[in-house]
A and B are shown apart, each in its own frame.
Chain A
């Protein structure tokens, strides 16, 4: 059941290129949240009105050097809310509502290979997922793409913790030049469709392309969606995405905060 707590910043580490790793104390969550569940974070007394949604990046055991009972949030400065967050020093107060949303599920088949597809800051929910899968004896592969080398936060961590990591950048400054869909297509071609389970998070055009590939080839694909939210717990109806029910062309609107953030690529009406 979600709780609304006041806590304080433990560390707020500048990872460069506008990316930050925020750590705060949350003993009640660090052991039991699911990867891709999220928080609504507000800064008391700030000039912004609404809290902002952030998925959990690290839980207990994700990062070796993390303070006990802490959770981590990976974020990029994109507007006023994240700029304020980036200015916070250790000890600063935070209003945090969580845990919210459904979170990633385990692979549909224990023998299936999880392939994590991340676009830039969309890598945020994957450290917790990788550590959880690894703890279950499942070794995930990862395709990590971005515009440029600076837009790949925690790249060294991912390199160390995924069995196989393919990096792509649009400008060729790191890994292969191009988009994540290039190596993804090759991976899908080289493996039986039932032997893979895709997990995607990133900008919408990337998610759409990943979903299209997965659906074309009959590969199971779960996407962690992002949307502007006012509440995070299902009442503002602001964060909806268009979806289909099985066997129907009618458009429904499902809430990213409650029915998601993780949605089966097959239900999205893109």
Chain B
């Protein structure tokens, strides 16, 4: 029997729980040579701002043990060009297109949400309140529960689409920001964005990245991200989308058992353009092998031997 892969996250229904993460999947169309976008549960776009952004000067990336640091600085075409140039082509695919939204101020977040409200083919909005690589906006909202609740509420009022808030791991207690997003009216939480990190060129005695610090992603952060997902699962009632270093189906299952209803594949897309499809196929094999009828049966079913 074919296992049921469909999932429901509040108002968002997905054909399967495997999505691709913002900033690692372009606008989706770049991957058309490598996979059928309709096979994905959903794709999350590069962060969209009210106007195009040029991003940060290079060097922007460096490989680190089992991971990479990036400081792209939200280079993107802007929400208007996304709607007119990218979205029409994306409508040809039967997948949930989730627009990742970024602003330097509360009003900019609202501006982008408002523009996407009437755009056909957007399934949900993911608020990027956790980018570590820009001076204004982003992580400022994601670090402070009061500010996060306000920007979430402002966007909630501006959109009828399912609203996802992407949490930053760079906080003292992620349960505080998770609750703040819930209070502000989020439908779903996704977690986690990158961890702030730094690599140093010891020969030159300078940071490797032009901006000094960057966001760490890849398998190196997976245990940290799984732990944070488990913590948030205990703290809020909202459905969760887990991410952080997922390369294989087993990695995705860790997040699902810890409480995530769906997952996002990120850095692995750079290494194998069809990484998400491989995760999905092997996830289906796992369900079949264990005689599990629906992936929904697994969400948050981690058995605890000792209290966390």
Q: A interface, by DSSP: helix, strand, loop or mixed?
A: loop
Residues of chain B lying within 8 A (CB to CB) of residue A233: 30, 273
User: Which one, A19-27, A46-54, A104-112, A213-221, is touching chain B?
Assistant: A46-54
12 A-B residue contacts at CB 8 Å?
Answer: A4-B274, A95-B272, A97-B273, A227-B58, A230-B61, A231-B270, A236-B72, A237-B75, A238-B60, A238-B70, A240-B75, A253-B75
- B42-69, CB < 8 A from A: 54-55, 57-63, 66-68
Nearest-neighbour CB distance to chain A for B35, whole angstroms, equals: 10
* Smallest CB separation, A17 vs chain B (Å): 21
Determine if B270 and A235 form an interchain contact, defined as CB atoms under 8 angstroms apart: yes
**Which residues from chain B contact A240 at a C-beta distance below 8 Å?**
55, 58, 60, 75
**B307 CB-CB contact with A under 8 Å:** no
> What residue of chain B has the Cβ atom nearest to residue A258's Cβ?
B30
Q: How far is the CB of A256 from chain B (nearest CB, A)?
A: 9
Give, as a whole number of angstroms, the nearest-CB distance from A182 to chain B. Answer: 28
Q: A49, A97, A239, A253: which contacts B68 (Cβ < 8 A)?
A: A49
Docked Cα-Cα span, A241 to B57, in Å, equals: 8
A189 interface hit (Cβ, 8 Å): no
* Chain A contact residues, CB within 8 Å of chain B: 1-4, 42, 48-51, 95, 97, 227-231, 233-242, 251-253
Report the Cα distance A184→B270, complex, angstroms: 39
Distance in angstroms from A8 CB to nearest chain B CB is: 18
> Would you call B66 and A1 a contact (CB within 8 A)?
no
Cα–Cα, bound, A238→B208 (Å): 13
Q: Given A50-B271, A236-B61, A237-B55, A230 and B26 touching (CB < 8 A)?
A: no
Could you tell me if B33 and A1 are in contact, using CB atoms closer than 8 angstroms?
yes
Contact B54 A251 (CB under 8 A): yes
A51:B26 contact, CB within 8 angstroms = no
Contact of A50 with B26 in the complex, beta carbons under 8 Å: no
Q: Is B34 an interface position by the 8 A CB rule?
A: yes
Q: Which of B67, B68, B273 contacts A4 (CB 8 A)?
A: B273
Nearest-CB residue, chain B, relative to A235 = B26
> Closest A-chain residue to B63, C-beta based?
A50
Q: How far is the CA of A97 from the CA of B31 in the complex (A)?
A: 13
Contact flag A253-B63 (CB < 8 Å), given A50-B271, A235-B24: no
With known contacts A50-B68, A251-B54, A253-B54, A236–B24 Cβ distance under 8 A: yes
CB distance from B246 to the nearest CB of A (A): 13
Chain B residues within an 8 Å CB radius of A236? 24, 61, 70, 72, 270
On whether A2 and B33 interact (CB within 8 A), knowing A42-B271, A50-B68, A236-B24, the answer reads yes
- Can you name 19 extra interface pairs (CB under 8 A) apart from A49-B218, A50-B270, A228-B59? A4-B272, A4-B273, A50-B63, A95-B272, A229-B61, A230-B63, A230-B271, A231-B270, A231-B271, A233-B30, A233-B273, A235-B31, A235-B269, A238-B60, A238-B70, A239-B58, A240-B58, A242-B57, A242-B58
CA distance A25 to B104 in the complex (A): 50
Contacts of A1 in B (CB 8 A): 33
- Tell me the bound Cα distance from A227 to B62 in angstroms: 11
